[in-house]
Structure 1
């Protein structure tokens, strides 16, 4: 029993720590994971985030997902938590992009920000010739793979 509590605590701490790093960078938890602001992590409002605050945040998130309160997360509880997170991401996306306020996103509202799209294109177009070659695309894919720690398509793991 102590081992299970310890493992749960370490896992919760790791989740909170990664959320803290993401929040500090102003991003999200990858693949649409949770967005946590610094203020949400700074539970006592002193302008600093401690390991204890990260652990408390992780414990709260774990307990929220543990709907039956047994101290374990079943596949059903994890799926439900994932579904809630997905619904929250969708709601944020609609709120952010729904220019006419109809609660739906048109094709025009779904178009990427032109400045951001241009910057992305320029990053991919290494030689600045106005086109992205297969080599430039593969190079960027390799760089992203290294940053994310992904395994190659032929790797087994």
Structure 2
């Protein structure tokens, strides 16, 4: 990996780590932990102290050498572990024949079929350069998310 890739991966992971508390409180955070995982004293409530402890533990898990700081290499390794786990879950979920691999027929189809429809703003069945650029500017076409600007990679 290039240094630029490490930096990008690191920044993304740091944002995820910093946003864990507020995102979990809203219930829409990445890898939202189970309630019982956060409620460490099992009193049926999650306090700010418990949220902070969880965030600290997640940071410590990324800080592989325990020096209290996270390097680009540590962030990249954590990001890679997270992606590997996500991909393993994807295979488990969609591998209908149980061979540990995904064929094209087993791949999720939610984006197929309606991607063209969302991008084709004048509904003529083809994309011209303007429609294609506009779809990319607003994040994959009409009705797809709230994204603005450049397209983002699809994430599970």
TM-score clears 0.5: yes
Give the TM-score normalised by structure 1: 0.62
The one of 24, 28, 38 equivalent to 1:20 is 24
2:106 counterpart of 1:109: yes
Query: Separation in 2 of the partners of 1:78 and 1:124?
Result: 35
Which protein has the bigger helix share? 1
The one of 52, 77, 82 equivalent to 1:80 is 77
Query: Separation in 2 of the partners of 1:17 and 1:95?
Result: 29
2:93 counterpart of 1:96: yes
Count of aligned positions? 130
Query: Separation in 2 of the partners of 1:91 and 1:128?
Result: 38
Deviation at 1:46, TM superposition (A): 8.3
Task: Please list every run of 5 or more consecutive structure 1 residues that lacks an aligned counterpart in the other structure.
Answer: 1-9, 29-34, 151-157
- Over the aligned positions, Cα root-mean-square deviation in angstroms equals 3.6
Q: 1:133 to 1:20 in 2, by over 3 A?
A: farther
Query: Separation in 2 of the partners of 1:131 and 1:100?
Result: 36
Give the TM-score normalised by structure 2: 0.62
- 1:1-157 matches, cutoff 5 A: 14-17=18-21, 19-20=23-24, 23-24=27-28, 35-37=30-32, 39=34, 43-44=38-39, 52-110=49-107, 112-113=108-109, 116-144=111-139, 147=147
Structure with the larger RCO, 1 or 2 (CA within 8 Å, 6+ apart): 2
